[in-house]
Chain A
Amino acid sequence: MCFAYSQFIKTFGSVAETSHIRPIEDKIISLLHQRDKRAVELIYTHYGGTLLGVISRILKSEELAEDIFQDAMVKIWKNAASYDKSRGRLFTWMINICRNLAIDVLRSKKFQATLKIQNADQLVSSENAPSYSFNPDQIGLVELVGKLKPEHIAIIEIIYYKGHTQKEAAEALEIPLGTVKTRLRIALRELRQLLGIGHT
């Protein structure tokens, strides 16, 4: 583990949901394999906030996000057998499930229709406020991520939380298509540096 990340942990305390607490993840994986429903409780307790947060970030509607969060938890339970530990962390796998479900809803015609009749002001305000309920640990993280260049925050936001394709991202940010990929790579490298994860 790199110095910057240790520094981050020291500075802001443990953000439970970032789950560098591997023993809990291992425990959950083993419970999932045994089809023990306590796994769901552990996921809910340790990762529920981030999973719901990701969904809320994508869908902007608290009620809808809660519905999709439930769907995602059931899907995680049902598809647990398809999780392959060698291909990445359980936490990442779970985030991707939530993200994909939420983006599917975001792209559905029904959601697009409801979105249109919503007040434009509401949308703007919610976009400006990334979290609905702050937890003391995450304030530090928000500040840390806030140190990224605005263009890097935007590219991560638009690809990761708006479900835009590269082409859509290029149009929304008014940049050439080729730049999207480059900018995303640089943004993620900056983020990693900031968080002190892996070699950079």
Chain B
Amino acid sequence: MLELYASGLLSPEEIGEVEEMVAKYPEVKDELMAIEESLAVHASQFYKAPKPALLDSIMARIEEEEEKEQVEVQDQTQVQDQTQTQAEESTTIGDFQGKKEPKVRKFNLLSLMAVAATLLLLISVISNVVLYQQLSETEQALASLQDQQDTNVKEFEALRTNYNIVTDTAYKPVHIHGLPSHENAFATVYWNPINQAIYLDASFMDAPDADKTYQLWAIKAGQDPISLGVFDTLDSLQDVAAKIGGDVAAFAVSLEPKGGSEQPTDVWMVGNV
């Protein structure tokens, strides 16, 4: 078996068995070494001096192999060693420039991305601010329009009421003219004798002095004037809450101290029914 092993005639399985035995038993190993030794000595009889040129050629081929290996090793480790290599070789200007290039490119890409990201963020923030402002303005405009709309609706309702009263034949329009001392003053009372409702239109009157007020009176024959309430300025027709029954001879407006009076002190205007 050992002879065949030494002659390379065994199957891989048998080789394994022999090697196991050799490892286990020193005497088997000695036996094998002796066989190999005698075969080696036997081989020496075929000695043939190699030409010196062969050594040069062998050395050249080994150099070649080594360079090939180094290139392979370099290729494999280039990526992971790059950073380290740069650090180590940074003293050599040529290498420094040559090897540093990829890192610079990587760095540039990174900063480019950072700058781009920052710009995008900035644009986004600005857009948000602008859009928020626009939204606020729009909301304000909408609110203002809604207010306007409410006002318009109110005014329209008021005008419709005025129109209804003015055009209602049940109401008697009584024009109250200024006396000679106040001849530019003018107002109109719309009086409904059936339901006793009274409306006052004093929109053409100037505002009284700060400590004064206007007061409206109803005049009945044989009676003292009946107060129908005080007013300062009126934009539109005013519903006068007070009611009076029976025949009214005339309506009058006087200027009174703030709060009004029991009896008129300074009558400005009078209108006969």
Contact = CB atoms under 8 A, between A and B. Distances in A.
Contacts of A130: 45-46
A100 B8 contact: yes
A160 B7 contact: yes
A28 interface: no
Interface string B41-68: 1111111111100110111011001000
A135 B47 contact: yes
Contact of A18 (B3, B8, B41, B58): B41
A191 B40 contact: no
- Most chain A CB within a 10 A radius of its CB, from B6, B36, B37, B50: B50
A105 interface: no
Interface residues of B, number: 39
Contacts of A57: 43, 46
Interface of B: 3-4, 6-9, 19, 22-23, 30-51, 54-55, 57-59, 61-62, 65
Interface of A: 15, 17-19, 37, 40-41, 44, 48-50, 52-54, 56-57, 65-66, 69-70, 73-74, 77-78, 86-89, 91-92, 95-96, 99-100, 103, 130-135, 138, 141-142, 145, 156, 159-160, 165-166, 181, 184-185, 188, 191-192, 195, 197-199
30 contacts: A17-B47, A18-B40, A18-B41, A18-B44, A40-B58, A40-B59, A41-B59, A48-B54, A53-B45, A54-B46, A57-B43, A65-B48, A69-B50, A70-B61, A86-B23, A87-B19, A88-B33, A88-B36, A95-B40, A99-B8, A134-B47, A138-B44, A156-B39, A160-B39, A188-B6, A188-B39, A191-B38, A197-B34, A197-B41, A198-B38
